[in-house]
Each structure stands twice: as structure tokens, then as C-alpha cells.
A and B are shown apart, each in its own frame.
Chain A
Amino acid sequence: MLERTLAEQRQDLRAGEYSSVELTENYLTQIDACQQLNAFITVSDAALEHARAADTQIAAGADKTLLGIPIAHKDIFCQQSVRTTAGSRMLDNFISPYDATVVARLDAAGAISLGKTNMDEFAMGSSNESSYYGPVRNPWNTDRVPGGSSGGSAAAVAARLCSAATGTDTGGSIRQPAAFCGITGIKPTYGRVSRWGIIAYASSLDQAGPMARTAEDCAILLSEMAAHDPRDSTSATRPGDDYTTGLEKPIAGLKIGICTEHMHGLDDAVRKIVDDSLAELTAQGCEVREISLPNTHLAIPAYYIIAPAECSANLSRYDGVRFGYRCEDPTDLDDLYQRSRSEGFGDEVKSRIMVGAFALSAGYYDAYYRKAQQIRRLIKNDYIAAFDDVDVILGPTTPGPAFKLGEVSQDKTAMYLQDIYTISANLAGLPAISVPAGFVDDMPIGVQFTGEYFAETRLLNVAHQFQQATSWHQRRPGDAA
């Protein structure tokens, strides 16, 4: 039953093929068996109890979209009465007094929470190697990283430890791990999903989204996650949608853009996968156009100023006073702050706070932070111009397959460049989805579709049609490549 997609499991539960309790038990057993993946920080001890309640409701004919479906939440979503750590020692003892809107909405839709997944500390990273709780391993090859920062969620979905999971994406943290783990993940338009209750990294870039094995599963989850939330001032005012209704639409005539700059210098094996994917789409009647995003080479520099700057302020609240880690026997106020923060935060977090504080400091603000926000406007404008000619942009999600643990973490620049294809969508606030599209070195490779503002329906439609014609998303870790 763990092989069934979420959409199939829904039907199965309603048809009485098995119960939510059985499904949940199976997942919990599998989680236990796969501890070496280290995908979970906290496993829920209330899951079976909730599954029992769900079964009662199913029997009574209740009609909630995710009733009885076991999912996992990235440990960046505050969950009431549950330990919520953001992968950090700073919040190791933080029992959240409230629910994130995403958690509350999925609960209300009937989903069962299996636990909180591992992640790069405070969402800063592309390999899940910076977590206080140890690295997550890629289920396809445990010597390799699952990607980050939503590495735990990606690994959990790929290893069949849950039906689906939630993630967040600030520079690619849903899409890149989805690509590395051979699953599907979508970062919606900025503001589409409420940020209330999501532990903030970079406020103008963070966005939550679903991670699952198929585009259809992602559509089901996103439909429950997407809504205007008055508690989030940056939340889009337009109401959410039922993203499953547009999945079956034929994509003939859709104009697909290929970005010249992104294809330049691409690894041959990855290029072949992008080309093959394109061929699949043209076979379905899509047209191909070349487009240019001339400022895209500035996306990484701009991101690595903006995100640290915003995070340096967002993480100032971690001071040992009202919650979280506090150092022992502080001698004075400065000692309290400095030791609590230096002991509570890991190296990558401290490094980004330093860069961020510097970029905002007197004399440097204009050259760094302001300049980066202007570059962001140029990148946004490039996309708007491109979307005059095309409906959707196709490209690689990552430069290559998942790398080995420890291989890249010492070379910071190489680590930052992992995000090269994903980051621009965050800067512009555009929606983008990664789907499995092939293998390199027996490791999954994903391709990414980027769409216009609030075009999640179209993106999920293209992804779904791609998945109807291909079977990459059906491969499992352990299968021959």
C-alpha cells in the first residue's frame, strides 16, 4: 500500500481496501526501518490515535480531501504542542504553542501527521548537511546527500516513509531535493501559501509547497495549502484553487521556453535529459522557443546578499530570553546573547548572519542590499518579458545529480552554485515545479518548469501530462536504473 500514490490511497481508503490505521502503521514501521536515512527529527506518538479517528470519520462517510492520509511536515512548520526545531540546537527544546496555517489547513483536511522531517539548519543549505540532528541520506544511494534544505521531506517521500510531505523553498529548497530524490516538488508563487507559523529565513523569498511522488499528488496537497491568510500580510489576496481540475487538459499548443543562458555550460548528460524531456513535450504538440534571461547570472550574487540580510534580522529573536536555547550561567546581558546565540547556531547560520549584518551596515547598504534588490527587479523584468513569448520555461533543476556527503560542503561557492537554476524563480516570486526526468550515474535528475504569477494550474498540468507520458517518477530507490 506504500507503493500507491496519495491519489490512489485516497480511493483505497474510501473503498475500504485498508484502513488509515493500517496505512499509518505501515509507514511508522518503514520509518523505523529506515532510521539510517535520518529523515525524521521527531516521529509523532499521536499518529495512530489520529488515524483511528480518521477511520471513524471515513466510515461515517465524511468527505475531507486528505482524510486518513499520513504526511510529514518539514520541521520548519510550527506545530502546536510538538517539538519544532528548524534543524537547530537553538530550538531543540521549542514546543510550539501554536500551529502554522499550513499545518492547521492540512489537519482540517483530515491528514495524519507522521512527524517532523530533518532539514538544513534554519533552511540554510542545499544538502541537508548542516542540521544539528545530523545529515539526511539519499535513499537512492546513502553515501549521497538528498539535497536541501527540505532534504528530510524529499528522502521521506522517496523512501516511502509518508504519502507526501510539506517543504519550504527560499532558493530552491523544495525543487532541488525533489530532483536529487527523484520526486516531484512545487514552489508556488510567492504569497500563494501562508507563511504564518513558518520559521522565517528570508521573508521576501520563503514559500511553502508540497513534495510528493506525482504532480497529481502535489496538486491535491496544494489545493488544501493555498488560500489567502489575513495573518500573513504578504499573503496573496486572490483565493486558492482546486489545482486538480486542470490536470488533464491537453498541452498541445503550449509554448515552451528554453533559456539560452541556463543551457550554456550545462553538463552533457543533464543536457541530454532536458532535450529528451523537450522532445516528449513536442511530441504532445508543444512549441519550443528560445528565450533569454540576460541578468540571470546575477541571481546567485543577489540572493546571497538578500537572503542573509533578511535572515540576520529574522534570527535576532533567538536570544535565550523567551524561548529556545539559553547558555548556562550568563554573567551579563551581552554574555547571555553572545553565548546563547553562538552555542545555539551552527556555522553556516552564523556565517550568513554575519554576511547579512554586514550587507545592511552603514556605508554598505547601497552597494550590497539595495543593489541586490535592484538586480532583483531586472531579473523579474526579464521573466515578464520572456513570458510575453512563452507560457512556461523548461530547464534543468540542478547542475548534476546528488553529490556525495562531504564532497561539496567545504567548497562554499560550489555549494551556492547548486542553486543556480532554481534561485531566479524565488527572486522573481514565480512558481516553479521540478519533476523526475532521467538518471545520471544511477542518480535521479529533475527538470524544472517555471510559470507566470499564479500559474500553478498550468504548471501542474504540464507536469502531469509529462508524467502520463513518462515513467521516471515511478522509479523507486533500489530499482535498476
Chain B
Amino acid sequence: MEVTEKVVRDVAALAQLRVKAGETAGLAAGMKNILDLAEQMQSVETDGVEPVSNPLDATQIMRTDEVTESDQRERFQAIAPETEGAHYLVPRVIE
């Protein structure tokens, strides 16, 4: 599996990670390491094998529709990096 610099940059963009120019090679090597390891999986036939999403193959238990949470804004915003007027602040988003 070829991990090119473009692949590294594209994936970094998807993951919102900044990759400096000197870092791409290292990251590419790290990814290639694992992806080469993963190639071994192709040695086994898996047609018709049901993928595992939950190891217990269990089904969902539902919650009753009732309001159980109270207003805890102050507590939660006490640990927030930047708030104003009860809103979380981020740099201006232009749509």
C-alpha cells in the first residue's frame, strides 16, 4: 500500500490535524507500517462473514422519553476555553 504525501495531507485534512512539511515522511511511514500489517488480512477469505460491531451481538435497550437533565450550563461552561453570553465562542464561521 503506497502512502504518498498527498494521502497524508488529505487524511490530515479530514482529521483536522496540521502536518508540517518535515512531518509527512514520518507520518507516511507510520501509516504504511500499519497498513502493511493490515495486508495480512487479505490472506483469508471472508465472503459472507458477518462483521462484528458489538462483541456480544446484543440489541439496544431503550430509554423512556422523559426529561432527566436540568440546566447545568454554569458548571459545564466553567471548564470551557471561551464563552460569551452563554454561547461557546469560535472564530467567525462564514457560510
Contact = CB atoms under 8 A, between A and B. Distances in A.
Q: Do chains A and B touch in the complex (CB under 8 A)?
A: yes
B44 A378 contact: yes
B16 interface: yes
Interface string A17-49: 000000000000000000000000000000000
Given A323-B79, A326-B81, A378-B44, A355 B35 contact: yes
B85 interface: no
Main secondary structure of the interface of A (DSSP, over half): helix
Contacts of A302: 38, 41
A1 B13 CA distance: 55
A345 B80 CA distance: 18
A189 B58 CA distance: 13
Contacts of B81: 320-324, 326
A237 B8 CA distance: 42
Contact of B56 (A236, A355, A416): A236
B30 A353 contact: no
B41 A375 contact: yes
Nearest to B20: A342
Contact of A204 (B7, B50, B54): B54
B40 A354 contact: no
Interface stretch (A62-70, A276-284, A332-340, A467-475): A332-340
A342 B55 CA distance: 33
B50 A353 contact: no
Contact of A301 (B38, B50, B76): B38
A428 B78 CA distance: 41
A297 interface: yes
Contact of A377 (B52, B78, B92): B52
B72 interface: yes
A372 B41 contact: yes
A298 B40 contact: yes
A239 interface: no
A341 interface: yes
B52 A373 contact: yes
Contacts of B31: 351, 354-355, 358
Given A378-B46, A380-B55, A368 B38 contact: yes
Contact of A354 (B8, B44, B88, B92): B8
Interface string B60-94: 11010000000010011011111000001011110
A190 to B, nearest CB: 4
Contacts of B58: 191, 234, 236-237
Interface in A351-392: 351, 353-355, 357-359, 361, 367-368, 370-378, 380
The interface centre, meaning the residue of A334, A355, A367, A370 with most chain B CB atoms within 10 A of its CB, is A355
A175 B73 CA distance: 40
Interface string A228-270: 0010011011000000000000000000000000000000000
Interface of A: 93-95, 97, 189-191, 204, 230, 233-234, 236-237, 295, 297-298, 300-302, 304-305, 308, 312, 316, 319-324, 326, 330-339, 341-342, 345, 350-351, 353-355, 357-359, 361, 367-368, 370-378, 380, 412-413, 416, 427-429, 453
29 contacts: A93-B79, A204-B52, A298-B40, A300-B37, A305-B38, A322-B81, A334-B16, A336-B91, A337-B16, A338-B18, A345-B17, A351-B27, A351-B31, A354-B8, A354-B11, A355-B35, A361-B14, A372-B41, A374-B49, A374-B51, A375-B44, A376-B52, A377-B52, A380-B52, A413-B33, A427-B55, A429-B55, A429-B56, A453-B56
Interface of B: 7-8, 11-12, 14-19, 27, 30-31, 33-35, 37-44, 46, 49-56, 58, 60-61, 63, 72, 75-76, 78-82, 88, 90-93
